[in-house]
Amino acid sequence: MRKTVLFGSFNAVHVRKTLLFAFMALLAFYWFYVLFGDFKNAVVFAAIEAVFIGTAKSLLKPLIFFIAGAAVAAFYIFLSGNLAAFNVIFAFITILNVITDSAKTKAYSKEPAWIKIAALIVVFLFLTVFVFLPLYTIFTQAFSKGVTAYFASIHESDAFSAIKLTLIVALVAVPVNTFFGVLLAWAVAKFDFKGKSIITTLIEVPFAISPVIAGLIFILLFGASGWFGAYLTEHDIKIVFALPGLVLATAFVTFPFVARELIPLMQEMGKDDEEAALTLGAGGLQTFFKVTLPNIKWGLLYGVVLTNARAMGEFGAVAVVSGLIRGVTMTMPLHIEVLYNEYLFAASFAVASLLTFLALVTLIVKTIIEHFIALQRKRSFYGLEQGNL
């Protein structure tokens, strides 16, 4: 094969690619500067486009990505006037293009190439419009008045109280639901008794009932005119419009997560390990901590993560039982709504960005746990196959 070498391994193909990257970068810079007159963003856009073209392994998919991204970016800029969104969206396109190029496809797949491209474009548009742009908007609005104003909004007394109250509610509700969720899963998965199907159905009740209705239930139970209202008032015990009401409402709506995650996992594990431990003389608690808990630890952590995420972001049930007392019973979601209704947009988005950051951390932890759960199931399946052999 004939090969033209210019400088060592730097051949004519590399020269053509370098010239193409440079030309496209200059073209991107020119048109961005002509259309928007923003030199700084034009330079960043030119650099992103050079990387986008340089990482592309084909022509059709990057071209469609480019057109779809330009349409979304233009629409967003038309609504918000934020030119930096162009660069952020195309950075996202570049990452998505690299990921989809590196994804392995099965050799026996017979679908035409256009189906894969069309599916990727639909997924890209959906993620951009419903996930990426909202996240981008939250953080850009949070820092719209500068870093100093951002931290001032978070350190403001009512905001700090809302953050602290959210953490307290989560720190109480999550362990309580974890404890009772494990007990319930243990009872349903390991024992047979009458009414088992009824209990399994009742676990889903918090998902079937609107959170607002759940809050009203506690108002009817513990409010001044509720069933226990007279007794609580007589003994000066506050449930609703106080911390206990927030904990009860949050615990109610987050109750199913741990149990729903552990019941199928424990049923899949069976009873053989526990029965073997009991046969060898282990007690009930010893069997649980030495045998059952190590086998369900990743599923338990997964349920705890989901419970914590819902507890920190709960709005409906908490809004009903809180009474919206500033600095006393307002959690972060409630504080964000109040700030937004008062047209304090930068402050509301600052608190929202903190809640979003906690959600992103939760998502990362959830992904890591899912990876370990998949490894655990793979090892269990491999061990089962080895035993059958």
pLDDT single digits (tens) 140-157: 888 888 888 888 888 888
Q: How confident is the model at residue 161 (pLDDT cuts 50, 70, 90)?
A: very high
pLDDT for res 374 = 74
pLDDT for res 180 = 92
Mean pLDDT of the chain: 78
Residue extents of the structural domains in the chain: 5-145, 152-388
What is the rounded average pLDDT of the residues 43-59? 69
In the numeric block, the tokens 């987050």 are attached to: 254
Share of the chain above pLDDT 70, in %: 74
What is the rounded average pLDDT of the residues 160-179? 93
pLDDT for res 8 = 44
Rg, the chain, Cα only: 28
Instruction: List the Cα angle 137/94/369 in 5-degree steps.
Output: 75
Q: How confident is the model at residue 125 (pLDDT cuts 50, 70, 90)?
A: confident
What does residue 39 show for φ and ψ, rounded to 5 degrees? Answer: -65, -45
State pLDDT tens for residues 79-89: 666 667 667 77
The b/e string for 86-114 (b: 16+ C-beta within 10 A; e otherwise) is bbbbbbbbbebbeebeeeeeeeeeeeeee
Least confident stretch, 175-189, 221-235, 306-320: 221-235
pLDDT for res 5 = 43
Direct distance between the N- and C-terminal alpha carbons of the chain, in angstroms, rounded to an integer: 52
Among 340, 344, 336, CA closest to 314: 336
pLDDT for res 1 = 43
State pLDDT tens for residues 298-332: 888 888 988 998 999 889 899 999 888 888 889 99
341 or 362, greater pLDDT:
341
pLDDT for res 4 = 43
Asked whether the beta carbons of 314 and 355 are under 8 A apart, the reply is no
Among 346, 358, 356, CA closest to 156: 346
Q: How confident is the model at residue 26 (pLDDT cuts 50, 70, 90)?
A: low
What is the rounded average pLDDT of the residues 282-307? 82
State pLDDT tens for residues 325-352: 888 889 999 999 999 898 888 899 999 9
pLDDT for res 228 = 87
According to CATH, the topology of domain 152-388 is MetI-like fold (1.10.3720)
pLDDT for res 92 = 73
pTM of the model: 0.70
Q: In angstroms, rounded to a whole number, what is the distance separating the alpha carbons of residues 333 and 345?
A: 14
